[in-house]
Amino acid sequence: MCTSLKKKIMLVFGTRPEAIKMCPLVNELKARSSIETLVVVTGQHRQMLAQVLEVFHVIPDYDLSIMKEKQSLFDITINVLDNLKGILEETNPDVVLVHGDTNTTFATSLACFYMKIPIGHVEAGLRTYNVYSPWPEEFNRQVVSMISSYNFAPTALAFQNLIDEKRNSEMIWITGNTVIDALKTTVKTDYSHSELVWASDCRLILITAHRRENLGTNMYNMFRAIKRVLDEHSDVKAIYPIHMNPLIRSAAKEIFTNNDKIHIIEPLDVLDFHNFLSKSYLVITDSGGIQEEAPALAKPVLVMRDTTERPEGVIAGTLKLVGTSEEVIYNEFTLLLNNKDVYDSMAQAVNPYGDGHASERIADILEFGEMRH
């Protein structure tokens, strides 16, 4: 009987940002002949995940299709655990790679822990040390660090967080963030889009918002502040590719209906979004990943959160935490639009998140036990 000597590496992911950061790694691993690569998507996101898979030409081997409208944290965790068990038993991977801090990541890691399958954590070591901010992501990523065998830290700060938590330094590598790998392939100088033509006579504000802890009052505060600023500036237009969560959609509809300064559009695929980002004047968001992309493109970001696990961008000067109070967001947004010195000091091209070779480094470690790039 002939048994394969290839190392079997499974990647499990389910949401848009995980897919954006894991697909470059999937393609890198698939190019390595000594590795057998298996891709499992949980389908925690349905349409927003499909958009990314299409851009990166990744076809999953398994799809758990767990998404439900207005799903709860219980729904995601239970359904991932339940559906993944049989696949892990059937395929018996040598290592399972997870990304970041979603419930897909947490539940997959828990399943692997129960089955004693080694876990590799991509984007390890990000911390706020407040388990309610972001919620539930800070809990998810801390738990994964307790049980993962390979820790791929994007920055020196993330590495240090893991060292401070007494994790074994021999199992932590600083690789850079795979989002920079993705960004290298998406941004084009000759890109055009009808929405950008609509905004071309103005300064373009790009908006996104989705954090679970911001649903409800905080989100209304955020939207009201943005509306006031848009109404007061004739040379500004906003594009808001809105998350598919129905709770966010109803809040945005309530505040922005009949407002001709803002276009609320369907989620952009990642190629479009990165190009919108590169053509924008500034970004206002509660997203995690955008805090990594914007510094690489020298775009100021107002982060509508009280904490960030990405202090590198704050230190670099590109990001500013503005919380979720209507008055503070209104004041900070107005200042950034009206004060060119403040704007220029934030619009610096500092990229603390790597050189675009993170996937190669992670693949090297998995293949050879060390980085060769």
Residue 37, helix vs strand vs coil: strand
Residue 101 bears catalytic tag: yes
Q: Helices 103-114 and 137-147: crossing angle, nearest 10°?
A: 30
**Contact flag: residue 20 with ligand UDP (CB under 6 A):** yes
Q: What is the per-residue burial (b if ≥16 Cβ within 10 Å, else e) of 11-39?
A: bbbbbbbbbbbbbbbbbbbeebeebbbbb
- CB atoms under 10 Å from CB of 315, counted, come to 12
Please spell the DSSP secondary structure of 135-177, one letter per residue.
TTHHHHHHHHHHH-SEEEESSHHHHHHHHHTT--GGGEEE---
CB atoms within 10 A of CB 60: 19
Q: Is 123 a catalytic residue?
A: yes
Largest CA distance in the chain: 74
Minimum distance from residue 322 beta carbon to ligand UDP (Å): 16
Instruction: Rule CB under 6 A: choose which of 210, 227, 237, 274 binds ligand UD1.
Output: 210
Q: Which helix (H) or strand (E) holds 109?
A: helix 103-114
3-state secondary structure of 236: strand
Active site residue 137: yes
CA 115 to mean position of chain CA atoms: 28
Give the shortest CB-114-to-ligand UD1 separation in angstroms: 19
Would you say 245 or 259 has its CB closer to ligand UD1?
Answer: 245
What string marks each residue from 219 to 258 as x (binds ligand UDP by CB under 6 A) or -?
----------------------x-----------------
168: exposed, middle or buried (Cβ count in 10 Å: 0-12, 13-18, 19+): exposed
Tell me how far, at minimum, the Cβ of 111 lies from ligand UDP, in Å.
21
For this structure, is 263 an active site residue?
Answer: no
To ligand UD1, the closest distance from the beta carbon of 11 in angstroms equals: 16
Q: Which of residues 279-298 bind ligand UD1 (CB under 6 A)?
A: 288
Q: How many beta carbons lie within 10 A of that of residue 4, not counting itself?
A: 7
Is 293 a binding residue for ligand UDP by CB under 6 A? The answer is yes
Under the criterion CB under 6 A, does residue 290 sit at the interface with ligand UDP? yes
Amino acid at 207: I
Query: What is the spatial distance between Cα 204 and Cα 262, in angstroms, rounded to a whole number?
Result: 10
x/- map, 44-63, ligand UD1, by CB under 6 A = xxxxx---------------
Catalytic residue (one of 243, 274, 357, 361): 243
Q: 18, 28, 63, 101: which one is catalytic?
A: 101
| Shorter beta-carbon distance to ligand UDP: residue 36 or 286 | 286
Q: How far is the CB of 326 from ligand UD1 (least distance, A)?
A: 22
Q: Which two tokens stand for residue 2?
A: 């002939």
User: 68-107 mask for ligand UD1 (x: CB under 6 A)?
Assistant: xxxx-x--x------------------------xxx----
Per DSSP, 284 falls in state E
| Contacts to ligand UDP by CB under 6 A | 16-17, 20, 208, 210, 241, 267-268, 270, 273-274, 287-290, 293
| Contacts to ligand UD1 by CB under 6 A | 15-17, 44-48, 67-71, 73, 76, 101-103, 136-137, 210, 212, 244-246, 288
- Which residues participate in catalysis according to the annotation? 101, 123, 137, 210, 212, 243
